């Protein structure tokens, strides 16, 4: 999702139900896309060992040559558009790698990689609300859970199948309905946690739904069934694994729906939103808390907050993770030497009694306003000799 001066690029995702012929065609396409990606990655990796670089145009020429070989002649059976698109994705992956924004691209696995194929405008036809992909005689049976903006046509279409066996189509469109909201003076500091998902500087505490915990018994039962099946590619094991995937899909869908509604509300109500710049990938290394932190989905929350703020003309400020938000009195600015984790309320020497989380959110808001005023980052001295910030200490407890 991206924003330009005049419009927003927005993806509209729908579930669809292919017939047998369409499912077979898409399955072949997924396999060919994966094969071409891996072949091109292998070629580029081999060239890299020789200190040579291979670009998209060269891999496109390789694709033409591969199609002419007897071994890879099956690539001619599917549309060439998603095959070219996967080469463009590989080029983007290498661009991000060389720009030090991502790791080196990895090969796609048949079992673990996401089944997907992207079609550019030459690879599909969209007329009167009916989408027909290349190499298909009939349009897809799409469940239109919400309409596309009037008069809008997709620029790219991505078809995918998740681990639970569900089929989805995502259409990237220019959405003229998304416009900046009227400016407001409201600002909020947001402190994330596990006991409460969010604590706002206004004093409001938003409960943590713990979606994974609600389905933990069902998930454990499904995983036990998989563990008892003979290892391999047997149909019974595949069926059991699909049941596990369905439980995970249920958890993911509920979590995403909750975060979508929550972030939309926060963005609509506030002009400035201040959060803490957490390194979640390091936090989940704590084996006692990895499950709870992953279920809270702080990274997904921040991502939604940022792109919606860009859509609607709001501002998201990330305060440095070493800022001692929990130990600092927001009234007088006194920094406490110690703040044991079992202390949820405390009284400062100035006489102010604080709720630990609300105080942290208010301090984040104040720090964010300082960043907005001076245009500089906030990096106070680290709050503990061990190099942990107040927030890192806050989530170092065992999951409640």
276 is catalytic: yes
Give the DSSP letter of residue 174. Answer: E
Q: Which residues contact 4 (CB under 8 A, 6 or more apart)?
A: none
Residues in the chain: 400
Catalytic one among 175, 212, 295, 357?
A: 357
Spatial CA neighbour of 117 closest among 70, 52, 167: 167
Please provide the DSSP assignment of 37-73 as one string.
Answer: HHHHHHHHHHHHHTT----HHHHHHHHHHHHTSSTTG
Contact by Cβ (8 Å): 118, 133: no
Using DSSP's 3-state secondary structure scheme, residue 104 falls into coil
Residue of 25, 118, 276, 295 marked active site: 276
By the 10 Å C-beta count (0-12 exposed, 13-18 middle, 19+ buried), 159 is classed as buried
Query: Pick the catalytic residue: 191, 212, 295, 394?
Result: 191
Left, alpha or beta for 218 (phi > 0: left; psi -120 to 50: alpha)? alpha
Going from the C-alpha of 34 to that of each of 83, 105, 108, 113, 135, the distances in angstroms are 9, 13, 6, 9, 18
Backbone angles phi, psi at 43, to 5 degrees: -65, -40
Clarify whether 174 is annotated catalytic: no
According to DSSP, the β-strands at 115-119 and 156-161 are antiparallel
Structure tokens at 283: 């936090």
- Sign of the torsion formed by the C-alpha atoms of 116, 122, 126 and 132: negative
**SS3 (DSSP) at 324:** coil
> Do residues 371 and 262 lie in contact, with contact meaning Cβ atoms separated by under 8 Å?
no
Tokens 């005023």 belong to residue: 373
- 306 is known as an active-site residue: no
Residues carrying an active site annotation = 191, 276, 357
């Amino acid at each position: 999702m991206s924003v330009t001066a005049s419009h927003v690029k927005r993806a509209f995702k729908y579930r669809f139900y292919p017939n047998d012929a369409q499912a077979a065609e898409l399955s072949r396409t997924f396999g060919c896309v994966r094969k071409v990606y891996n072949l091109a990655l292998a070629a580029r990796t081999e060239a890299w060992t020789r200190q040579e670089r291979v670009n998209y145009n060269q891999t496109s020429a390789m694709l033409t040559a591969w199609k002419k070989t007897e071994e890879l002649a099956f690539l001619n059976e599917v549309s060439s558009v998603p095959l070219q698109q996967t080469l463009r994705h590989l080029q983007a992956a290498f661009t991000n790698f060389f720009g030090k924004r991502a790791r080196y691209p990895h090969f796609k696995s048949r079992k673990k990689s996401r089944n997907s194929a992207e079609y550019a405008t030459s690879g599909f036809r969209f007329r009167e609300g009916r989408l027909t992909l290349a190499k298909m005689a009939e349009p897809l049976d799409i469940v239109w859970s919400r309409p596309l903006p009037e008069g809008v046509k997709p620029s790219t279409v991505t078809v995918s199948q998740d681990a639970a066996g569900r089929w989805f189509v995502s259409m990237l469109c220019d959405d003229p309905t998304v416009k900046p909201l009227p400016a407001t003076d409201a600002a909020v500091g947001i402190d994330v946690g596990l006991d409460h998902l969010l604590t706002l500087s206004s004093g409001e505490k938003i409960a943590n739904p713990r979606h994974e915990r609600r389905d933990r018994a069902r998930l454990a039962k499904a995983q036990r069934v998989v563990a008892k099946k003979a290892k391999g590619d047997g149909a019974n094991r595949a069926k059991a694994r699909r049941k596990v995937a369905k439980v995970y899909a249920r958890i993911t869908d509920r979590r995403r729906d909750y975060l979508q509604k929550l972030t939309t509300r926060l963005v609509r109500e506030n002009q400035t939103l201040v959060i803490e710049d957490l390194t979640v990938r390091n936090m989940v290394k704590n084996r006692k808390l990895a499950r709870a932190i992953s279920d809270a989905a702080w990274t997904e929350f921040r991502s939604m907050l940022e792109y919606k703020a860009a859509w609607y003309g709001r501002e998201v400020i990330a305060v440095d993770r070493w800022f001692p938000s929990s130990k600092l009195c927001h009234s007088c600015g006194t920094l406490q030497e110690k703040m044991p984790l079992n202390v949820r309320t405390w009284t400062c020497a100035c006489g102010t009694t604080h709720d630990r989380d609300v105080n942290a959110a208010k301090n984040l808001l104040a720090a964010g306003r300082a960043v907005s005023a001076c245009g500089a980052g906030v990096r106070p001295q680290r709050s503990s000799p061990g190099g942990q910030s107040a927030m890192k200490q806050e989530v170092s407890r065992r999951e409640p």
